[in-house]
């Protein structure tokens, strides 16, 4: 199990991106959260196996129908206490 933080850049707000991520996380089985950031990016933190996290990243790179993902940056994070399941959080900084 690992934890990764994702920062998604491009046309990713106002296109249903967070709900797309929430559904993808549920299908894949990762725990964590997603939120819009004030700079126009979307940030997600996810915990799962390497295989699950790789699948999750591929879904982020894909995005929902009306999005346009320019890039996804990924950083490994220390294993955080995350609730089971996946949530959409209020917009962050």
Interatomic CA distance for residues 82 and 41, integer angstroms? 22
Contact assessment for residue 87 and residue 23, using Cβ atoms and an 8 Å cutoff: no
Verify whether residue 18 is a known catalytic residue: yes
Question: What's the pLDDT tens digit per position in 59-81?
Answer: 999 999 999 999 999 999 998 77
Question: What's the pLDDT tens digit per position in 12-43?
Answer: 999 999 999 999 999 999 999 999 999 999 99
How many other C-beta atoms lie within 10 A of the C-beta of residue 85? 13
Among 4, 35, 36, 47, the one annotated catalytic = 36
Verify whether residue 50 is a known catalytic residue: no
pTM of the model: 0.93
Which domains does the chain possess?
2-7+17-79 (3.30.70.100)
Interatomic CA distance for residues 4 and 51, integer angstroms? 12
Among 18, 50, 59, 90, the one annotated catalytic = 18
């Amino acid at each position: 199990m690992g934890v990764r933080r994702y920062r998604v850049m491009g046309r990713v707000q106002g296109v249903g991106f967070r709900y797309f991520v929430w559904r993808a996380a549920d299908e894949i089985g990762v725990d964590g959260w997603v939120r819009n950031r004030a700079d126009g990016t979307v940030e997600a933190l996810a915990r799962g196996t390497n295989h699950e996290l790789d699948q999750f990243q591929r879904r982020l790179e894909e995005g929902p129908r009306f999005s346009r993902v320019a890039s996804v940056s990924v950083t490994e994070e220390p294993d955080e206490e995350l609730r089971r399941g996946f949530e959409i959080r209020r917009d962050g900084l």
